[in-house]
Amino acid sequence: MFEIHVSLIALVVTLRYTFLEDKKGISFKKRAFQLTITSVIQLICTGVYWIETYGHDQFIFWTLVIVTSCLTGLIMNKWVLKFGYWFLTNCMITALLMFMLIQYDKSPFQGLFGGIREGLTPIFTTIYTAILQSIIWIFIKFQKWLAEGTVREKQPLKKTLIRYIKIICFQVLLSIGIASIFCFNNLFLFGLSIIITLFVLFIMRQKITGNYLFWAISWGIIFWEIVKLSFEYGHIIFKVQDADLNEDLVMICLIGFPIYHILLAIYFKLKEDKK
């Protein structure tokens, strides 16, 4: 019954929210469209989590999560950026719908603590959906902030391709260099190489312009593939002895550098705004 109470409260708040939107001069047609399209996405998200709850293939689940996330990001960017619509429709629909779906088949909740898991699943589904959509919303807002006041100049395709090929080549060389440090199993050398790499990256980001997402994503893919090769042929090429230590260092590089690229994007944006 908790899910029903949450949905009813969310319904009342949603009606109040749309009333306030009416006072701001937003047309009924636009409000109805925003509520409808966000509600449809919440239905899809609930279906995706329902697939995961009933133990279907994880590859299908994560594929659907990625597709749904991209669709959510597209809708946020094009039509509904106000997070109030997303949050309220999530509270109003997700928990209640998941609760109703569970009533048709309770087989995944058999055994010890099955009743507790059954009761918590709709709640956690709502929380997970809210977290995912808030992350996407923050990303869209961040992208729009970066694009403020910037004038995009159309460049020849050849010049654009050359620029991104340079970025890829640099990422390959950088990945090979960092992976080769792993063979020493020395944290001091690793830390020193990271400091030098951060400095070099700062210089390269100034010299080679490119979307920070391309820098971050290309780094993750290239570095991961090179590291896999180094672990596979490490005893021949890199002479890796402590695989556990290297896995920790790999995760530091794999997560840390994309974060650094985001921080650099913020830095360059603030520097540009000061001009």
pLDDT in the model for residue 72: 92
The Cα-based distances of 234 to 116, 198, 251 in angstroms read: 47, 25, 17
Contacts of 150 (CB under 8 A, 6+ apart): 272
CA distance 65 to 83: 19
Read off the pLDDT of residues 214-258 as tens digits, 9 standing for 90 and up.
Answer: 999 999 999 988 887 776 665 555 454 544 446 778 888 889 999
The DSSP code for 154 is: P
pTM of the entire structure? 0.77
Going by C-alpha positions, the residue among 115, 273, 257, 253 that lies closest to residue 190 is: 253
CA distance 102 to 37: 24
CB 133 within 8 A of CB 70: no
In the chain, where are the structural domains located? 2-147, 157-274
Going by C-alpha positions, the residue among 128, 143, 144, 140 that lies closest to residue 65 is: 128
pLDDT in the model for residue 167: 92
pLDDT in the model for residue 56: 65
Going by C-alpha positions, the residue among 124, 217, 108 that lies closest to residue 171 is: 217
Parts of the chain with a pLDDT under 50:
238, 240, 242-245
Give the DSSP H/E element, type plus range, for residue 75: helix 58-78
Which three-class secondary structure state does DSSP give residue 84?
Answer: helix
CB 185 within 8 A of CB 234: no
CA 36 to the chain's CA centroid:
24
pLDDT in the model for residue 199: 93
